[in-house]
Amino acid sequence: MSTSLSNGAPSGALPKVENMRVAIVAAEWNGHITGALADGAVELFKSQGFADEDVEIFHVPGAVELTFAASQLIETGNFDAIIVFGCVIRGGTPHFDYVCQSVTQGITSLNADCDIPVIFGVLTVDCEQDALDRAGGKLGNKGTEAAETAIKMFDFICKVRE
Show me where the domains of the chain are located. Answer: 29-161
Closest CA to 41 of 136, 123, 155, 145: 145
Q: Does domain 29-161 have CATH number 3.40.50.960?
A: yes
* Residues 6+ positions from 15 with CB-CB distance below 8 Å: 151, 152, 155
The catalytic residue among 28, 47, 95, 128 is 95
Sign for the pseudo-dihedral over CA of 29, 34, 35, 36: positive
- Look up 95 and say whether it is catalytic: yes
pLDDT tens string, the chain, 162 residues long: the values are 444 433 444 556 899 999 999 999 999 999 999 999 999 999 999 999 999 999 999 999 999 999 999 999 999 999 999 999 999 999 888 889 899 999 999 999 999 999 999 999 999 999 999 999 999 999 999 999 999 999 999 999 999 998
Rounded Cα distance between 40 and 57, Å, is: 13
